Amino acid sequence: MVETKMPPDAKLAFPKCVRLESKPHLFCPGCGHPEVLKALGFAIDELGIQKRVALGVDIGCSLLAWDFFNLDTIETHHGRTIPTMVGFKRAKPEGVAIAYVGDGGAYAIGMSHLINAAIRDENILVIVVNNGVYAMTGGQEAPTTLPGTRVKTAPCGADRHFVRAPEMIRNVNPNAYIARGITTIQVGLRKTLKEALQHQVENGGFAFVEVLSQCPMNWGTLGRPEKTFEYLEKTMLAAYPVKKY
């Protein structure tokens, strides 16, 4: 999973499919989303599928990606991006359908859509950005919040269990492409996203990539990147292995 060989365009500031007119982006300083999107953009460039991609973005921080790319993009309702892209793909199979969702959108309000899309083996790619917290709404508990973590709606500490999505999806779909990446290993993340997109292009069925990502704003580490990345690469990584499932 840990890919170190640099692709030739890796030093470009942005992928070719990015929409420069919408930059600088509106994510918070230090947010991981732009890094996930950048890896996704490079994967799309590499596969040459810009004109075929239909990108759906959820409500939550992911909504800020609505005009991030020169890609046909639809912003949906909170948790409803997966069924929207399922409906789209069924009606237009030649399109490459991507649902870009946060951990609240995918694992709480949209969980039934996620798991049923996996059961039905829908030929779409779901990307879930896992930063362990509801970020846009101000730092509430998510199904990914690690046990004991103090957040706005769990001031005494979060619940003892958390969602292990890859295992859950594998349990209902033996053929799906399933992997977890992390923002700090960009080359690996790009490779993972490329494989996941390729899986769809080859009509391989459901593809799912969770990406561990940082949220300095809600982790209380704004302006202290060493703390941000210590939490991401030690605490988060220990609970959520980065690998192909």
Partner 1 sequence: MAEKKFLMGNEILGQAARAAGARAFYGYPITPSSEIAHFWAKEACSEGGQKDDLVFLQAEDEIGAGFMLIGGILAGTRSFTATAGPGHILMQDSLAMAEAMRLPCVYYVMQRGGPSTSTVIYSQQEVNLACFGGNGNGYRIVYSPSNLQEMFDYGIRVFDVAWKYRFPTILLGDGMLAKTLGEVETYSVGERGLVMAEPEAYMLERSPRKRPIADIMPSPEFEVRAGEDGTEYDCYRNCLNWEEEALAVNEETKDAFVKAAEEVTEWEEYGQKESRILVVAHGIVSAGVKSAIDQMGTGEARLFRPITLRPFPERQLREAAVGADRIIIAESADNQLGRIVKDALYGSGIDIVEHYRPSISILPEEIVGLIRSNAD
Cβ distance to partner 1 smaller for residue 87 or 147: 87
Among 2, 10, 74, 201, binds partner 1 (CB under 8 A): 74
Q: Is residue 59 part of the contact set for partner 1 (CB under 8 A)?
A: yes
How far is residue 38's CA from residue 202's CA, in Å, rounded to a whole number?
Answer: 23
Q: Which of 7, 14, 47, 67 binds partner 1 (CB under 8 A)?
A: 67
- Calculated CA dihedral for residues 165, 182, 130, 174, nearest 10 degrees: -20
Q: How far apart are CA 188 and CA 1, in angstroms?
A: 6
Q: How far apart are CA 239 and CA 53, in angstroms?
A: 32
**CA dist., res. 243 & res. 179, Å (int):** 6
| Options 37, 39, 85, 179; binder of partner 1; rule CB under 8 A | 85
Residue 4 CB, nearest distance to partner 1 (Å)?
A: 31
Find the binder of partner 1 among 44, 49, 63, 158 (CB under 8 A): 63
Q: Tell me which of 36, 39, 49, 86 binds partner 1, using CB under 8 A.
A: 86
Residue 75: name the closest of 93, 100, 50 by CA: 100
d(CA 20, CA 223): 26
Shortest Å, Cβ 223 to partner 1: 25
Residues 218 and 151: their CA atoms lie apart, in Å, by 9
Smallest Cα–Cα separation from 193: which of 100, 114, 111, 87? 100
| x-or-dash string of contact with partner 1, 7-46, rule CB under 8 A | ---------xx-x-xx------------------------
CB of 71 to partner 1, least distance (A): 6
Residue placing its CB nearer to partner 1 in the complex, 90 or 224: 90
> In whole angstroms, how close is the CB of 28 to partner 1 at the nearest point?
15
Q: Which of 112, 115, 114, 131 is nearest to 35 (CA)?
A: 131
3-class DSSP state for residue 98?
A: strand
115-174 residues in contact with partner 1 (CB under 8 A) are 116
Interface residues toward partner 1, by CB under 8 A:
16-17, 19, 21-22, 50-52, 54, 59, 63, 66-67, 69-77, 80, 83-92, 95, 112-113, 116
